[in-house]
Amino acid sequence: MKHRDDISETEALRLELEQTRQHLADTVQELTHQLNVPRRLKESAAEAGSRVKANAGIAGERIRTNAGYAGLRVKDTATQVPALTKQHPKTTAAVGGAVLLGAGAAAWLATRSK
């Protein structure tokens, strides 16, 4: 009976030794990874590059969507302008005159400063 207890105790020690070896191997592997700075920098750069690509794709999609909406709004406004000018001819004339006056003043200043 004592022989069996010795075997089970020996077996328990072997298992404990194997667990300790595995734990030590894992620790060494983790330390090796932490000390390998060039590889860690490459991994960090690769992760950052992936994030930039993903964000750029999202931003590009938003720009395309917003550009489409802006184009539709411009077309809609362009179709409304003739009707608005007919409804408000005096306002249209005043705005047109102000634009021409501004363009004339800009041209005069440009030739005067030479």
The per-residue DSSP string of the chain comes to: -HHHHHHHHHHHHHHHHHHHHHHHHHHHHHHHHHH-HHHHHHHHHHHHHHHHHHHHHHHHHHHHHHHHHHHHHHHHHHHHHHHHHHH-HHHHHHHHHHHHHHHHHHHHHHHH--
pLDDT score of 114 more than 90: no
How confident is the model over 4-62, as pLDDT tens digits? 556 788 888 889 999 999 999 999 988 888 888 788 788 888 999 888 988 888 888 88
89 falls in which pLDDT band (50, 70, 90)?
Answer: confident
pLDDT score of 103 more than 70: yes
How confident is the model over 61-87, as pLDDT tens digits? 888 888 888 888 888 887 887 887 888
